């Protein structure tokens, strides 16, 4: 199912190799030399493919799959058809991720700086850096070794990018210091001046935006996401944090480590997130609010006040998730009958 037009030929592996590399238990040793050539969904897999069950919604697909082998947790191993080898793991998706990278290793093109790239002589370019067509690198910018920059990307004066970065096409970077192993997808805008205009008796006053954006190591930033630079303090994205597409991160926001921000989240100015915070799609956080460690917010949650550590929240204004569920059920029940029924009965 993987299109060779885009991903080239696969690198076949035996089931044994895959089980060992992915930490999976293979019970049927007699079949350990079966060779798998590709990956596919349960539904579309052929005997030459590896597949996986990561969501019980697809349990019926598992029972009917023609895959050569599948990653499953032990609980569902008995549902695997007889011609398919179960590869038992405690966590399916990471195992699948490792296997997919083995079967389809990413192609390393030789580093190349395109002749149309405009690079200021004072910029510092590391070893084996690639820069795509028409990209611009201004004075005193620094790009770490093995970083790949796409086409049409603008890197402004003084910006620092770490090693092994993957910066896609059409990205704008200014006033930013970026760690190692960072991925920034197409059209992200990092370091634009935030919303610094305030009314006064003398008319609107521009507040100069004099801060930076600091992005840690192993951060991923989605397509068309916007991260404004700080006004004085910096806007900070901690190590290992993953930001999806079309997310707004305003000036002076501080995001901790290993957070997950799903698409269309919006963080207002000077709010802060602890570590391991998960904000599902379209969540909003108000200005100057603090969200504690290990907080998970359901989609569309509106967070207008500080949230202590280890909560799961939902709704607007945000409530603990079970309180919000009770509110949904309460309103549903109260609306089933005319609201004045109790009074009529009395």
Site for a copy of itself in 287-306 (CB under 8 A): 288, 299-300, 302, 304
Phi (first) and psi of residue 168, to 5 degrees: -80, -165
CB closer to a copy of itself out of 100 and 145: 100
Q: Does 55 engage in binding with a copy of itself (CB under 8 A)?
A: yes
Q: Does 178 engage in binding with a copy of itself (CB under 8 A)?
A: no
Q: Does 5 engage in binding with a copy of itself (CB under 8 A)?
A: yes
Phi (first) and psi of residue 227, to 5 degrees: -125, 105
CB of 292 to a copy of itself, least distance (A): 16
Using CB under 8 A as the binding rule, the residues of this chain from 100 to 139 that contact a copy of itself are: 100-101, 104, 106, 116, 118, 132-134, 136
Among 144, 165, 187, 274, binds a copy of itself (CB under 8 A): 187
Alpha carbons 50 and 345: distance in angstroms, whole number = 63
Which helix H or strand E contains 206, and what residues bound it? strand 203-206
Stretch that binds a copy of itself, among 12-20, 35-43, 60-68, 74-82 (CB under 8 A): 35-43
Nearest residue to 238 via CA among 213, 256, 218: 256
Whether the upstream peptide bond of residue 317 has omega within 30° of 0, thus cis, is: yes
Stretch that binds a copy of itself, among 27-35, 63-71, 75-83, 181-189 (CB under 8 A): 181-189
CB closer to a copy of itself out of 82 and 201: 201
CB closer to a copy of itself out of 237 and 268: 268
Number of residues that bind a copy of itself (CB under 8 A): 115
Alpha carbons 14 and 11: distance in angstroms, whole number = 10
Largest CA distance in the chain: 86
Nearest residue to 187 via CA among 204, 172, 177, 203: 172
CB of 178 to a copy of itself, least distance (A): 13
Phi (first) and psi of residue 323, to 5 degrees: -65, -45
Residues 6+ away with beta carbon under 8 Å from 246: 222, 223, 224, 225, 263, 264
Among 30, 108, 335, 344, binds a copy of itself (CB under 8 A): 335
Please, what is the Cα angle at 193 between 283 and 239, to 5 degrees?
A: 55
CB of 29 to a copy of itself, least distance (A): 25
Using CB under 8 A as the binding rule, the residues of this chain from 236 to 275 that contact a copy of itself are: 240, 242, 244-246, 248, 250, 258, 262-264, 266, 268
| Site of tokens 């390393």 | 108
**Coil, strand, or helix at residue 313?**
strand
Residues 6+ away with beta carbon under 8 Å from 158: 138, 139, 140, 141, 175
CB of 57 to a copy of itself, least distance (A): 6
CB of 41 to a copy of itself, least distance (A): 5
Q: Does 175 engage in binding with a copy of itself (CB under 8 A)?
A: yes
Alpha carbons 184 and 154: distance in angstroms, whole number = 13
Catalytic residue among 13, 156, 185, 251: 251
CB closer to a copy of itself out of 30 and 340: 340
**CB-hemisphere CA count at 13 Å for 334?**
8
Using CB under 8 A as the binding rule, the residues of this chain from 61 to 80 that contact a copy of itself are: none
CB closer to a copy of itself out of 15 and 156: 156
**Residue 114 is a catalytic residue:** no
CB of 30 to a copy of itself, least distance (A): 28
| Site of tokens 């910066």 | 167
SS3 content of the chain, % helix, strand, coil (to 5): 20, 30, 55
Among 67, 129, 165, 228, binds a copy of itself (CB under 8 A): 228
Phi (first) and psi of residue 145, to 5 degrees: -55, 140
Q: List the catalytic residues.
A: 251
């Amino acid at each position: 199912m993987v299109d060779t037009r885009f991903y080239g030929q696969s690198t076949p592996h035996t089931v044994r190799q895959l089980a060992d590399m992915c930490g999976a238990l293979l019970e049927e040793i007699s079949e350990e030399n079966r060779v798998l050539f590709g990956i596919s969904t349960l539904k579309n897999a052929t005997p030459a493919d590896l597949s996986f069950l990561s969501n019980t919604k697809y349990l019926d697909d598992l029972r009917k799959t023609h895959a050569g082998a599948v990653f499953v947790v032990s609980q569902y191993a008995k549902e695997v058809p007889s011609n398919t080898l179960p590869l038992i793991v405690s966590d399916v998706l990471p195992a699948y991720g490792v296997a997919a990278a083995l079967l389809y290793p990413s192609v390393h093109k030789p580093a190349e700086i395109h002749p149309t790239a405009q690079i200021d002589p004072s910029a510092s370019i590391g070893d084996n850096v690639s820069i795509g067509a028409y990209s611009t690198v201004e004075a005193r910018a620094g790009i770490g070794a093995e970083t790949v920059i796409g086409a049409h990307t603008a890197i402004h004066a003084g910006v620092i990018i770490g090693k092994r970065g993957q910066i896609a096409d059409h990205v704008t970077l200014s006033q930013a210091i970026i760690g190692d192993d960072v991925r920034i997808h197409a059209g992200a805008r990092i370091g634009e001046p935030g919303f610094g205009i305030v009314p006064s008796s003398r008319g609107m006053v521009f507040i100069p935006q004099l801060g930076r954006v600091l992005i840690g190591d192993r951060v991923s930033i989605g397509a068309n996401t916007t991260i404004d630079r700080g006004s004085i303090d910096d806007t900070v994205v901690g190590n290992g944090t993953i930001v999806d597409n079309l997310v707004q991160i305003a000036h002076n926001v501080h995001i901790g480590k290993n957070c997950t921000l799903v698409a269309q989240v919006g963080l207002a100015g000077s709010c802060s997130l602890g570590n391991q915070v998960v904000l599902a799609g379209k969540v909003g956080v108000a200005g100057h609010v603090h969200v504690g460690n290990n907080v998970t917010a359901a989609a569309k949650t509106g967070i207008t006040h500080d949230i202590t550590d280890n909560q799961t929240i939902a709704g607007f204004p945000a409530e603990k998730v079970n309180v919000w569920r009770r509110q949904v059920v309460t309103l549903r029940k109260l609306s089933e009958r005319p609201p004045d029924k109790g009074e009529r009965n009395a």
